[in-house]
Amino acid sequence: MTLRGRDFLSVADLDRSELLAVLDLAREIKAGRWQQRPLAGKFVAMLFQKPSNRTRVSFEVGIARLGGTAIALGEQDVQIGVRETVADAARVLERYVHLVVARLRHHADLSELARFARIPVVNALTEIEHPCQILADLLTIRERFGSLENRKVAYVGDGNNIAVSLSHAAASVGFQLRVITPAGYEPAAAGGLVLVSHDLDAVEGADVVYTDVWTSMGQEAERDERTAALAPYQVNAQLMARAPQAIFMHCLPARRGEEVTDEVIDGPASVVFDQAENRLYAQMALLALILE
């Protein structure tokens, strides 16, 4: 299986066999059974308009382990759409590097970057999707349960980019996703094996309970309104008791005491730091298959 030269802007860009191939290779890399260096002599530009901890470190370490060189560019370095157009930035970068990893505010800018660059572009987060995080999540679920098919995932809270990317993953690999959210906070994309509910009873029977922050970057002005609407959807011990067999997931960083309590995120069901670790292996697998 190869993804040579492909963009990865959305989980929907990979079909089921391709998605599973990324997870299979990630497992081999994590186990130390695959140690090739397909990025040797290659350069990756990393564009960051938003702050980053896990994304930047996991990508830089992964690129180095694959033999490549990462060049981190902050918002003031490139200023796409301000100092120069997105199209011009794309045409310049393609002359220097072999792939672009972009963490941008607007998905439309990411799509334009990919349209004009003649090199692969990987989505490291936009307001619409967070596909690399979902690769790590799927790897984590598979590690815990052995398979993804027919698993029940309950996502509780704001129907943000995580919920959208999970929706695409559910459609691709065949797990059941329940997005449990107040009215007005539903995800932009849902269908197939995705149930959208406002009722917390939908958590019952879940194998995974997943949440994310209630106020994402760029939504700070809505913080009070969002907190009031989402407060009943906090993941706490009482909610987890409705799915006693479930693991707890969060893409981090977490606002402890808001969307999740310390008791849950630090409890025995929590796999949040496994998720964070698996960002490294999932992204290494993705880049290896794109640039091999």
d(CA 290, CA 292): 6
**Starting at the edge strand that comes first in sequence, how are the strands of the sheet with 152-156 ordered?**
194-197, 176-180, 152-156, 208-211, 247-250
Q: Verify cis geometry, omega within 30 degrees of 0, for the bond prior to 187.
A: no
d(CA 50, CA 91): 22
Q: Which residues partner with 84 through β-bridges?
A: 80
Q: Which residues are catalytic, by number?
A: 103, 130, 133, 212, 251, 279
What element of type H or E holds 180? Answer: strand 176-180
The secondary structure of residue 128, as a DSSP letter, is: S
Query: What is the chain's length?
Result: 292
| Exposure on the CB side of residue 18, measured as CA atoms within 13 A | 19
Amino acid sitting at position 88:
D
